[in-house]
Amino acid sequence: MTGVLSSQQIQGMIDSGAIAAEPAVTPAQIQPASLDLRLGHIAYRVRASFLAGEGRSVAERLREFEMHRIDLTAGAVLEKGCVYVVPLMESLALPASVQATANAKSSTGRLDLLTRAVTDGGAEFDRIPAGYSGPLYAEICPRSFSVLVRPGMRLNQIRFSTGDAVLNDADLVALHASDRLVDCSPVISDGLGFSVDLRPATGTLVGYRAKPHAGVIDLDNIDHYDQADFWEEVHTREGRIILDPGAFYILVSRESVHIPPQYAAEMAPYLAMVGEFRVHYAGFFDPGFGHSAAGGTGSRGVLEVRCHEAPFVLEHGQIVGRLIYERMDTVPDTLYGADLSSNYQGQGLKLSKHFKSL
C-alpha cells in the first residue's frame, strides 16, 4: 500500500479506531482524499504562535502561553491579528506506516484565515509523523477579517498517506501526455507550475483585495455578505498589478487544472527568490477536480496572495506556485464535484462561499 488514502480507506481508519472523535465523525466530513476536522468547544487566546517541540505536549505549552479561554458553545468572535489554539474533536492513533498532512480548507484560505494543525511533540505545522497517537489542535490566526466560530465548524482538513507517492517531473510529463493536466503547454519543474492570470478574456477585473477595516464574518453564513463590504476590486489593462506590502489578494491561475481520479495534488508555494509575496494557504486538490470523470472541463486555481516587505510588480503569466501530484493508493468511491456539494468545481476567479455572487 503506497499513496494517498481514499475516502473508503479513511472510513476504514475510523472503523478501526485509528481516527477517533467525540462526537463521532459524520459522513459529511469525509472527502475523496481527506477528512475535515472540527473545532471543539474552547479556544485559547495565546501570546504567540508555537510548536509543542519534541517530548512536550500542546497542553503543557498552553500553560506557558495562554492569555485567556473562550467558550465557543454559543459562538464567539476570533479577532483579526490575534492567535488562538482550539482543541479539535478528532484524535489519531496512526499505524506505523501512515503519516498525515493537514491544510486549510478552500473557504478558510480565501478569507485569509491562517489555520494550521498542531500536535503533541510536533516540530512542524501541518505535518504529522507516521505512528502519531494523540490529540489534534488548530492554530487559528485571522489575518484580514475577524470571524465568528462555533463548535463543529470545519476550517482545516487532513490527508493520510503511506510511502512516497509524489510524482517526479518525468512522471508528470508522461501523465500530461496521457491525461491532460492543464489546458496549455505545461511548465514542469519540481512539480507543475502555476501562473497568474492578469489578462482576462473579458473586462479588466483580475482579483480582489481585502479591505483593512471590514466587519465580522459569521462562518455559518453562506452566500450572505456583499462583496463590496469586504473587498476592493483589482483591475488592470496592462497585464500587471503592484502588490502592496501587508495586503491580501484573491487572484486566479492562468491555467485550468485537471486532477485525474487516480491522483491527488497539493499546491506548494514557489521559491522565495521569485518575489516579495507568498501564495496559498489552502492547498489540497482532490481527485476529480476539474476532470471530465467528475463532469469538469478544467478548473482554475484560486491564488491567495500576501505581499511581504516591499511593493512588488506581478506580471501576467508569472509563475507563482506549483502543484505537487501524488498517486492515490485507491481511487475514491466519489470524486470531487460528483455527488458532492463541491463549491469550487469549474471555478474561475471566485471569493469564498460566504459572499453573494454578483
**CA–CA–CA angle 149, 154, 155 (5° rounding):** 80
Residue 260 pLDDT grade (very low, low, confident, very high; cuts 50, 70, 90): very high
CB 152 within 8 A of CB 74: no
pTM for the whole thing? 0.92
Record the cell numbers describing residue 176, joined without a space.
500530461
Q: Which residues pair with 84 in a beta bridge?
A: 45, 140
Tell whether the model's pLDDT for residue 346 goes beyond 50.
no
Residue 297 pLDDT grade (very low, low, confident, very high; cuts 50, 70, 90): low
The span from the CA of 42 to the CA of 38, in Å, is 12
At 84-94, the pLDDT tens digits run 999 999 999 99
Tell whether the model's pLDDT for residue 340 goes beyond 60.
no
Task: Of 29-43, 142-156, 292-306, 336-350, give the lowest mean pLDDT range.
Answer: 336-350
CA distance readout (Å), 135 to 89, 226, 328: 9, 38, 26
The span from the CA of 13 to the CA of 19, in Å, is 6
Tell whether the model's pLDDT for residue 20 goes beyond 50.
yes
Q: Which amino acid is at 231?
A: W
CB 4 within 8 A of CB 328: yes
Return the exposure string of 33-68: e unless at least 16 CB atoms fall within 10 Å of the residue's CB, then b. Answer: bbbbbbbbebbbbbeeebbbeeeebbeebbeeeeee
Residue 344 pLDDT grade (very low, low, confident, very high; cuts 50, 70, 90): very low
Tell whether the model's pLDDT for residue 77 goes beyond 70.
yes
Share of the chain above pLDDT 90, in %: 74
* Local structure of residue 196 (DSSP, 8 states): B
Tell whether the model's pLDDT for residue 291 goes beyond 90.
no
Q: How many CA atoms lie within 13 A of 182 on its CB side?
A: 20
Record the cell numbers describing residue 213, joined without a space.
477595516
Q: How many CA atoms lie within 13 A of 57 on its CB side?
A: 8
Q: How many CA atoms lie within 13 A of 133 on its CB side?
A: 7
Record the cell numbers describing residue 129, joined without a space.
509523523
CA distance readout (Å), 46 to 53, 240, 301: 17, 39, 33
**What pLDDT, on the 0 to 100 scale, is given for residue 335?**
83
Mean pLDDT score across all residues of the chain: 90
At 153-181, the pLDDT tens digits run 999 999 999 999 999 999 999 999 998 89
pLDDT higher for 271 or 47?
Answer: 47
Tell whether the model's pLDDT for residue 273 goes beyond 50.
no
